[in-house]
Structure 1
Amino acid sequence: MSTEPDLETEVDDRDLRALLARVPSCVVAVTARVDDRPVVMVVSSFVGISLAPALVGFCAQATSTTWPLIKRADSIGLSVLAEQHKNDVRTMAARTGDRLAGMETFAVADGTPFISGATAWLQTDLLSETLLGDHAFAVLSVRGLRVGAKGALVFHEGTFKGCARLVAHPAG
């Protein structure tokens, strides 16, 4: 029987960040039409919650200035980004400037914007929001869904990459 190391009793932010970097996470553009213009933010905490009813969720930084705008919209769009978007993610996540500059987008009948070429698109309604530490956890009900043919973009070890490019992290 092997002996595992003792767990630290105090959690160091750097250790937790290093751990989370090793776990690939899906990259999603969260969009809405606010004051007659498209608004976008990027999250890497997308999660499926329930199949019946169809519920998904994500975390937004509590200090975000974009999330308060998006959450007041009648409809929230989620575009699960594809590998082709890896050079655009930082622009979409920027604190200033036109986050959708150079991005192809489309809107559904009610005006909810989405990112073209994504892996999947979900039209959602905000069901609940809970402040948890330094993030808000949003639960959304899915009212429309389309799955595309492209592989998802993930954030892994500090970089954006396609699912096909994931490699096991060397032990050590």
Structure 2
Amino acid sequence: MHPTVSSTPVTREEFRATLGRFTTGVVAVTALRNSDSAPVGLAVNSFTSVSLDPALVLFCIARTSTSWPQVRTAGRFCVNILGESQREVSTRLATSGDDKFHGVRWTTTPAGTPVLEGAIGWLECSVEAEYPAGDHEVIISRVHRLSSREDGAPLVFYRGSYERLAA
């Protein structure tokens, strides 16, 4: 079978359908808002490691995000690696609104960034670089502290929905 070469532009629907077949983990990026120390955050499924030395990670944020500017201005933020039991938290943080943390339990890192209860790992970060990329911003972040649990499966996203990781 040989792929068909096409000169027509890729549609959003085609792009989403094809990339939806790539399984991703889900993280929540959280911080305390500068103005009132209230927790703010958003769900992200475009997350990866970049470098071991220095420790850098990357995630992408839609330019239309109203949550990212609040997280960004905090200076330090936490990337929470969500566990499979955190679907509701992910869904809540993926929506717009000011009351995303209502009923969400969290503690803090040593520097005071929010760690969501049930996260299977966390990374305390700051922005190292930002790059425009189409309708998103690519955020490269320096990792200052991190921790993880030995137990717990990750929350994964595949073909437009949350799935379980097969053992």
| Higher mean C-alpha deviation, range 84-93 or range 136-145 | 84-93
CA-to-aligned-CA distance 1:24-47 (integer Å, 9 cap, x gap): 111100001112111010111011
Secondary structure of 1:69's counterpart equals helix
Secondary structure of 1:87's counterpart equals helix
Which of 146, 160, 163 pairs up with 1:161? 163
The answer as to whether partners of 1:54 and 1:142 remain within 8 angstroms in 2 is yes
Secondary structure of 1:48's counterpart equals strand
- Extract unaligned runs of 5+ from structure 2: none
Distance 1:100 1:161 in 2: 23
- Percent of pairs identical after alignment? 33
Write out aligned runs for 1:8-157 (5 A): 8-9=6-7, 10-34=9-33, 35=35, 36-148=37-149, 149-157=151-159
Distance 1:31 1:88 in 2: 12
Secondary structure of 1:14's counterpart equals helix
- What amino acid sits opposite 2:152 in the alignment? K
Distance 1:164 1:122 in 2: 25
Secondary structure of 1:121's counterpart equals strand
**1:164 Cα deviation from its structure 2 partner:** 2.4
Taking structure 1 as the reference length, the TM-score comes to 0.89
**1:163 Cα deviation from its structure 2 partner:** 1.9
In the alignment of these two chains, the number of paired residues is 163
Distance 2:145 2:111 in 1: 12
- Extract unaligned runs of 5+ from structure 1: 166-172
RMSD: 1.4
- What amino acid sits opposite 1:50 in the alignment? S
CA separation of 1:74 and 1:97: change in aligned 2, threshold 3 A: closer
- What amino acid sits opposite 2:155 in the alignment? L
Which of 2, 5, 20 pairs up with 2:3? 5
Distance 2:138 2:79 in 1: 15
CA-to-aligned-CA distance 1:94-150 (integer Å, 9 cap, x gap): 112411122211112332111111121000111011110000000001111111121
The answer as to whether partners of 1:59 and 1:137 remain within 8 angstroms in 2 is yes
Distance 2:22 2:92 in 1: 23
